[in-house]
Amino acid sequence: EAPEAFEVEKESAATQKLYGLDDPVTRDFGWQCLLARRLSERGVRMVQCYHSYWDQHSELVKLHTKLAREVDKPIAGLLKDLKSRGLLEDTLVVWAGEFGRTPWAQGADGRDHNPYGYTIWMAGAGVKKPFIYGATDEFGYHAVENRMHIHDLHATILHLMGLDHLKL
């Protein structure tokens, strides 16, 4: 069954376009997102889409603008497609990176890692919508409202996936 799941060319032209497979800028990440949907609908419990290098300590505007162009359409396509197929109710989508970013420049045009304030977003699988949890100070540096330990974030994600973090 596994090889058939990877045959994304069997998807309709409209679906391929939804994920950006018709555009060289979005094709690679779009393929991953479409594959994630195909694997999820076949019962695969955990799928990770990985996009290139977001760790810009320089050329932040140039590189993040390029990277955002590569991922925005495929992510929107994935969410829309999951919802239209009734899969978003049971599928957790998490968008996160390794760290938050400092609110000031590193060098002339970059930002350093910030372990004190971090933003992710989640959709589907019972995530409250719209819902914001926590806030940083006026500079975006320190979490000051509803600080969450990474253990609690992991427990929340596992709970949304139907797993008891205390049993792992």
Three-state SS letters, the chain: CHHHHCCHHHCCHHHHHHCCCCCCCCHHHHHHHHHHHHHHHCCCCCCCCCCCCCCCCCCHHHHHHHHHHHHHHHHHHHHHHHHHCCCCCCCCEEECCCCEECCCCECCCECCEECCCCCCEEECCCCCCCCCCCEECCCCCCEEECCCCHHHHHHHHHHHCCCCHHHC
Q: Please state, rounded to an integer, the average pLDDT across all residues of the chain.
A: 93
Of the ranges 9-18, 20-29, 96-105, 142-151, which one carries the lowest mean pLDDT score? 96-105
Q: What is the pLDDT of residue 99?
A: 84
Query: Are the CB atoms for 160 and 125 separated by under 8 Å?
Result: yes
Residues 6+ apart with CB under 8 A from 45: 161
What are 53-83's pLDDT values in tens digits? 888 899 988 999 999 999 999 999 999 999 9
Pick the closest to residue 29 from 63, 80, 57, 68 (CA basis): 68
